[in-house]
Amino acid sequence: MRLRFHHVLGRGAYGEVVLAEDTVTCQRYAVKVIRKRALLAEVELADVMVEHRVLQLTSGSRFLVHAEFAFQTKMHVLLGLEYLSCGDLDQLLQSKGPLDVNSARFYAAEMVCGIQHLHTMGIIHRDLKPENILVAETGHVKITDFGLALENMYGDRTANDYAGTEGYVAPEMDAREEYNAAVDWFSFGVIINQMITGERKYHHKLFNESTSGAKSIILQLLKRNPAKRLGVNRDIRKHRFFQQIDWISVESLRVPPPHILESSKPEHLEPFHLDAVEAAEAKDFRPSPKDQAMFRGFSFSNLKTLLDTSSKTTGASSPTEPP
Ligand code: ADE
């Protein structure tokens, strides 16, 4: 197996995100290690399957995190995401404090590219927030975490189930009304406001400027009526806030990022051993053939080159793909 696991990057209800490295190419990945037991019991399997599908589609945009591979062992499914080493926008805001308008405009413009790409594929993210905007060592940003995404939201289709994070959720979703992709633009408005003022809630008194267009774009994105909200009905790229933005340069990563950050290091390095977590799970869970059949077709991409070579660096149990 040529994938070497390093340390844990983060944890969720489903399992861990672990830094891993391809020992041949030295390419690093953020591997989401998800317990099959959690998927079969508590966390909805459908959500992970949506995330798995969306992460393959997102490779079409430089502003969306995508999956390079997926595979499974007896006890886990593993999703190999591109690794962005400089933390997220939430950490950036915590370390730098509120951003100057030009920096906020840069991140907002890159996010617009990602959000519009998702929406043209009929996907609503539903959980846009600074924690889900990752920063690369180049200083560019990408949207991640498609665990709450909704697919096939083309045309006039609407949904009504509640999903998201308090403070970023659009009023129509909060009111349990039918909603569309406009919910992402509301969250985006909260993020721009937060980048500039440091606050999630909009306060008139924090804006005394009128020239940058920041106040205007935030107010248009935070409109309670989704039909009047900027983003879905009018081209947000043409808003005054983005007047000086050359979108072709943004799309091709030619706009220099305002901040180059140091790679983030977790305070406590917690090593990860796939063997150990497999064995721990096996103690009190025996997936039946019917359980395993639920994960059929999960593996994709360069599975062969990543896993089927003779050098064994982790000693992990061999990956399985039920027939
Ligand atoms: N944490 C979760 N996903 C990540 C990614 N793609 N890169 C870095 N850290 C992460």
Q: For residues 5 and 284, give the distance between their C-alpha atoms in angstroms, rounded to a whole number.
A: 24
| Phi-psi sector, 15: left (phi>0), alpha (psi -120 to 50), beta | left
Looking at the CA of residue 83, tell me the nearest atom of ligand 1.
7
Q: Best mutation site among 134, 135, 145, 263 for ligand 1, i.e. most ligand atoms within 8 A of its Cβ?
A: 134
Count Cα atoms within 13 angstroms, Cβ side, for 67. Answer: 29
* Residue minimizing CA distance to atom 3 of ligand 1: 30
Looking at the CA of residue 10, tell me the nearest atom of ligand 1.
1
* Residue minimizing CA distance to atom 4 of ligand 1: 30
pTM attached to this predicted model:
0.93
Q: Best mutation site among 59, 81, 138 for ligand 1, i.e. most ligand atoms within 8 A of its Cβ?
A: 81
In short, whether 84's Cβ falls inside 6 Å of ligand 1 is yes
Which is nearest to 144 in space by CA: 53, 70, 54? 54
In short, whether 9's Cβ falls inside 6 Å of ligand 1 is yes
CA 30 to ligand 1 center in whole angstroms:
5
pLDDT at 135: 98
Asked if residues 39 and 48 have their Cβ atoms less than 8 Å apart, the reply is: yes
* Residue minimizing CA distance to atom 6 of ligand 1: 83
Which residues are part of the catalytic machinery?
127
Q: For residues 59 and 67, give the distance between their C-alpha atoms in angstroms, rounded to a whole number.
A: 7
What torsion, rounded to 10 degrees, do the Cα atoms 281, 286, 288, 292 define?
Answer: 20
Alpha-carbon Rg for the chain in angstroms: 21
Which residue type, as a one-letter code, is found at position 154? Y
pLDDT at 306: 58
- Helix%, strand%, coil% for the chain, nearest 5: 35, 15, 45
CA 52 to ligand 1 center in whole angstroms:
15
pLDDT at 314: 41
CA 63 to ligand 1 center in whole angstroms:
14
Looking at the CA of residue 65, tell me the nearest atom of ligand 1.
6
Domains and CATH numbers, the chain: 3-84+264-301 (3.30.200.20), 89-251 (1.10.510.10)
Please spell the DSSP secondary structure of 294-316, one letter per residue: TTTT--EETHHHHHSSS--SS-P
Please spell the DSSP secondary structure of 79-145, one letter per residue: EEEEP-TT-BHHHHHHHH-SPPHHHHHHHHHHHHHHHHHHHHTT-B----SGGGEEE-TTS-EEE--
Question: Do β-strands 3-11 and 15-22 pair in parallel, antiparallel, or remain unpaired?
Answer: antiparallel
In short, whether 30's Cβ falls inside 6 Å of ligand 1 is yes
pLDDT at 232: 85
pLDDT at 210: 66
How does pLDDT run along the chain (323 residues), one tens digit per residue?
Answer: 589 999 999 988 788 999 999 998 899 999 999 999 988 886 577 888 899 999 999 999 999 999 999 999 999 999 999 999 999 999 999 999 999 999 999 999 999 999 999 999 999 999 999 999 999 999 999 999 999 999 999 999 999 999 999 999 999 999 999 999 999 999 999 999 999 999 999 998 777 666 789 999 999 999 999 999 999 878 999 999 999 999 999 999 999 999 999 998 877 889 999 999 999 999 999 999 999 999 999 988 754 555 544 434 343 444 555 43
Which is nearest to 221 in space by CA: 154, 102, 128? 128
CA 134 to ligand 1 center in whole angstroms:
7
